[in-house]
């Protein structure tokens, strides 16, 4: 078969490991040929392609970024976008497309499938918020980077008797904040799924202070909100899929904490460091398993599906299910934060 491959949305550690696995198994086991579309859906709209060979993917498993590059091009915002994509795919004699991306990318894959073009999806996002899979690749790497940063903040905060607020990514879900916050032994963890109670935050920091811990580490998800103060966005900017560009809650929170507690407070925003660099061993393995399963789905003719992790098994679900809603933290995860906090 002649298989098209693209990576869409924000980049994410593990994208190259998926490409590596798909191409290796496709060529070695099925005798496939591969065409890479460059910069996500933009490459399909603009017919910007590159052949993907065994030589091209040799050694890329461990690399961050994506050799196909990526973009947040929203096909459905382009007049006749879906038809244009199908025309390019047909012009390149593509039998099936594998799209590696999060909910935005997969919503386009699903639209292509609805329009009759065979496609399958691979779930990518550091945010871990894609419905229907236990884990998306890239999440483990982002959490490792954020946890290491939080570890490092402890010593500098302690040396200065300061509170340091660390803002992490995650969009409207608190998976990165919760995991890095708990693993990094933060004193306060704040997630989008629960409105921030600023008085409770200050009370926790004060309780610790009064009990000998003269410094504080607060991990806050970029999507967390302070009631009344709204959500921090980059001047109201939205991306091509209409998502608010979030950033700045860490700084706003640090200012409020300092004002209310009089503790010297600083903030740090980890930003895109969480997406850069090489994937962890876990993400290399998960990406590889996803890639192998995706090319198998293509050869089974199981189109319109997304490969997913359920427990320890790689399975698949309909794309429509994956994009129907975002996966957020629930009570069982709030209980972890609650269980570690002192009762005050």
Which residues make beta-bridge pairs with 265?
163
Set 127, 129, 140, 296: catalytic member: 127
**Least separation in angstroms between CB 4 and ligand F6P:** 23
φ/ψ of residue 186, rounded to 5: -70, 155
Given the complex with ligand F6P, which of 70 and 110 has the nearer CB atom?
70
When binding is defined by CB under 6 A, the residue of 10, 14, 43, 123 that contacts ligand F6P is 10
Under rule CB under 6 A, how many of the chain's residues touch ligand F6P?
A: 12
222 is in an annotated binding site: yes
Applying CB under 6 A, the span of 116-124, 164-172, 321-329, 332-340 interacting with ligand F6P comes to 164-172
- Give yes or no for residue 126 binding ligand F6P (CB under 6 A): yes
The helix or strand, by DSSP H or E, that contains position 318, with its residue range, turns out to be: strand 313-318
Read off the tokens for 139: 């999440």
When binding is defined by CB under 6 A, the residue of 239, 255, 259, 300 that contacts ligand F6P is 239
**Within 13 Å of residue 301, how many CA atoms lie on the same side as its CB?**
0
313: Cβ–Cβ under 8 A, 6 or more apart, which residues? Answer: none
Q: How far is CA 131 from CA 76, 119, 207, 247, 286, in A?
A: 21, 18, 38, 24, 17
265 is in an annotated binding site: no
Given the complex with ligand F6P, which of 32 and 167 has the nearer CB atom?
167
Q: Report which residue's Cβ sits closest to ligand F6P.
A: 169
Helix axes 103-114, 81-91, angle to 10 degrees: 70
**74-80 own/partner pairs: CB under 8 Å, 24+ apart:** 74/41, 74/104, 74/108, 74/240, 74/241, 75/41, 75/44, 75/45, 75/108, 75/111, 76/107, 76/108, 76/111, 77/240, 78/45
Of 219, 205, 201, nearest in space to 147 by CA: 219
Given the complex with ligand F6P, which of 170 and 216 has the nearer CB atom?
170
How far apart, in whole angstroms, are the C-alpha atoms of residue 154 and residue 160? 10
Place of tokens 């096909």: 75
- Give yes or no for residue 171 binding ligand F6P (CB under 6 A): yes
210 is in an annotated binding site: no
- Give yes or no for residue 143 binding ligand F6P (CB under 6 A): no
- Give yes or no for residue 246 binding ligand F6P (CB under 6 A): yes
Given the complex with ligand F6P, which of 169 and 293 has the nearer CB atom?
169
155 is in an annotated binding site: no
Given the complex with ligand F6P, which of 283 and 296 has the nearer CB atom?
283
Give yes or no: 127 in active site. Answer: yes
Q: Which residues are annotated as a binding site?
A: 10, 103, 125-127, 162, 169-171, 222, 266, 272-275
Q: Which residues are annotated as a binding site for substrate?
A: 125-127, 162, 169-171, 222, 266, 272-275
Q: Which residues bind ligand F6P (CB under 6 A)?
A: 10, 125-127, 169-171, 222, 239, 245-246, 275
Catalytically active residues, by annotation: 127
Q: Which residues are annotated as a binding site for Mg(2+)?
A: 103
């Amino acid at each position: 078969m002649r298989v098209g491959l693209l990576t869409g949305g924000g980049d994410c550690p593990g994208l190259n490991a998926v490409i590596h696995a798909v191409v290796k198994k496709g060529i070695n086991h099925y005798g496939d040929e591969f065409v890479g579309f460059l910069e996500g859906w933009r490459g399909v709209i603009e017919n910007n392609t590159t052949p993907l060979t065994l030589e091209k993917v040799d050694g890329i498993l461990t690399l961050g970024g994506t050799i196909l590059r990526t973009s947040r091009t929203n096909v459905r915002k382009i007049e006749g976008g879906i038809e244009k994509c199908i025309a390019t795919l047909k012009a390149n004699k593509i039998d099936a497309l594998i799209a590696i991306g999060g909910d935005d990318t997969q919503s386009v894959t699903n639209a292509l499938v609805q329009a009759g073009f065979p496609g399958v999806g691979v779930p990518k996002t550091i945010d871990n918020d894609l419905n229907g899979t236990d884990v998306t690749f890239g999440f483990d790497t982002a959490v490792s980077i954020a946890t290491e940063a939080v570890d490092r903040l402890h010593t500098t905060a302690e040396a200065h008797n300061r509170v340091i607020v660390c803002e992490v990514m995650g969009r409207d879900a608190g998976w990165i904040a919760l995991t890095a916050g708990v693993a990094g032994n933060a004193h306060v963890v704040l997630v989008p799924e629960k409105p921030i109670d600023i008085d409770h935050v200050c009370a926790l920091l004060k309780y610790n202070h009064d009990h000998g811990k003269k410094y504080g580490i607060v991990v806050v998800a970029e999507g967390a909100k302070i009631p009344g103060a709204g959500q921090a966005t980059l001047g109201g900017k939205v991306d091509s899929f209409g998502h608010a560009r979030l950033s700045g809650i860490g700084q706003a929170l640090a200012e409020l904490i300092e004002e209310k507690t009089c503790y010297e407070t600083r903030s740090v925003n980890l930003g895109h460091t969480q997406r850069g660099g090489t994937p962890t061993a876990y993400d290399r393995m998960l990406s590889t398993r996803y890639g192998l399963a995706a090319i198998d789905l293509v050869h089974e003719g199981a189109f319109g599906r997304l490969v997913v992790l359920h427990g320890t098994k790689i399975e698949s679900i309909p794309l429509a299910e994956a994009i129907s809603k975002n996966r957020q933290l629930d009570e069982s995860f709030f209980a972890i934060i609650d269980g570690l906090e002192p009762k005050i």
